[in-house]
Amino acid sequence: MITRSKYFPVNEDKASSLSVEDEPSKEDPQPKPKKARKKHVEEKPEKREDSQSKWEPKNWQVLFENIKKMRSGADAPVDTMGCDRCHDREAPVKEQRFQTLVALMLSSQTRDEVNNAACIRLRNAGLSLDMILSTQTEELEQLIKPVSFYRNKVKYLKRTCEILKKEFDGDIPDSVEGLCSLPGVGPKMAHLVMQVAWDQVTGIAVDTHVHRISNRLKFVPKPTKEPVQTEKDLEDWMPTHLWKDYNTMLVGFGQTICTPINPKCSLCLNKNICPSSTDKDKKAR
Ligand code: SF4
């Protein structure tokens, strides 16, 4: 399925492992009416032609392929405990979508291991929309603790469930706009939900790993301060068929090699061409 949000053009690739680390909180949600959902699905895609890009990063294909090679072992936490691994694959599809939304809402600024464990505790306690609404706030807090900002996240979850029940027939929104109407959900998280829950790629999800590494690789024309600018800059040049896996690829790379502090440049296949390499044996830039 190909759709187009008000934010970004899209491609038709399928979902893969995903992770998110930080998402801005929002207040005063304004959910869209249900009738807007069908309109969104029927919109025609705005295909991005690679030849339209005016700027592209130096050596990006080689840098990209090297990261793919380094990630081929799928040995990062995101590969087994990312947000697309937090739902019960035996559950009805509608419940899986809800579980995915919950996993992503809990995941901001939380390690995959911690988030995955919290999701398992919630599922063991009977996670569902009605369960969230009927369970005491304090009990939910205990279930998801030590997820970061667990008190705020419980508030968001409860308010989200009220909205889903009233405005979306108990399902989750199937558009970036609808998802962004939920408390605590911004475009980045919405892209991930669309990819995992609805099998649609609506943009590049930029978390702290993606933001940091994209800047280190100079995959943006100028250094960016905010992930939202990184996302825009990446989408301006990156072929859309690469958007699907970019988040998982870089999150895992950031968890294992291109770490926030002291990146392991000496182990990196890009050490000789990466603009930010700290390896002393690098030969060229
Ligand atoms: S050379 Fe260092 S900074 Fe560059 S991508 Fe590799 S680990 Fe990251």
Q: Is 230 in the pocket of ligand 1 (CB under 6 A)?
A: no
Residue 47 is assigned to a structural domain of this protein: no
Cα-to-centroid distance, 15 and ligand 1 (Å)? 26
Residue 181 is assigned to a structural domain of this protein: yes
Residue 50 is assigned to a structural domain of this protein: no
Cα(56)–Cα(220) distance, integer angstroms: 8
Cα(87)–Cα(89) distance, integer angstroms: 6
Nearest 5°: phi and psi at 201? -95, 115
Q: Is 270 in the pocket of ligand 1 (CB under 6 A)?
A: yes
Cα(170)–Cα(95) distance, integer angstroms: 10
Q: Look up residue 62 and give its amino acid.
A: V
What range defines the domain where residue 259 resides?
Answer: 58-267
Q: Is 250 in the pocket of ligand 1 (CB under 6 A)?
A: no
Residue 200, pLDDT above cutoff 90: yes
Q: Which atom of ligand 1 is nearest to the CA of 216?
A: 3
Per-residue pLDDT tens digits for 24-58: 434 333 344 343 343 343 333 444 445 555 899 99
Cβ atoms of residues 122 and 75 within 8 Å: no
Residue 99, pLDDT above cutoff 70: yes
Per-residue pLDDT tens digits for 120-171: 999 999 999 999 999 999 999 999 999 999 999 999 999 999 999 999 999 9
Cβ atoms of residues 159 and 8 within 8 Å: no
Cα-to-centroid distance, 282 and ligand 1 (Å)? 11
Active site residues: 188
pTM for the whole structure: 0.80
Among 11-15, 82-86, 142-146, 159-163, the range scoring the smallest mean pLDDT is 11-15
When divided into structural domains, the chain yields a total of 1
Q: Which atom of ligand 1 is nearest to the CA of 277?
A: 1
Cβ atoms of residues 282 and 269 within 8 Å: no
Q: Which atom of ligand 1 is nearest to the CA of 257?
A: 7
Q: Look up residue 104 and give its amino acid.
A: L
Residue 44 is assigned to a structural domain of this protein: no
Alpha-carbon separation of residue 75 from 17, 80, 257 (angstroms): 12, 8, 11
pLDDT at 280: 57
Residue 285 is assigned to a structural domain of this protein: no
Residue 214 is assigned to a structural domain of this protein: yes
At 204, the pLDDT band (50, 70, 90 cuts) reads very high
Residue 110 is assigned to a structural domain of this protein: yes
Residue 277 is assigned to a structural domain of this protein: no
**Closest to 80 (Cα-Cα) out of 116, 114, 107:** 116
pLDDT at 188: 86
Q: Is 256 in the pocket of ligand 1 (CB under 6 A)?
A: no
CA atoms within 13 A on the CB side of 226: 6
The share of the chain scoring above pLDDT 90, in percent, equals 75
User: What's the chain's average pLDDT?
Assistant: 85
Other beta carbons less than 10 A from residue 73's beta carbon: 10
State the CATH number of the domain containing residue 152: 1.10.340.30
Nearest CA to ligand 1 atom 8: 258
Which 8-state DSSP code applies to residue 175? S
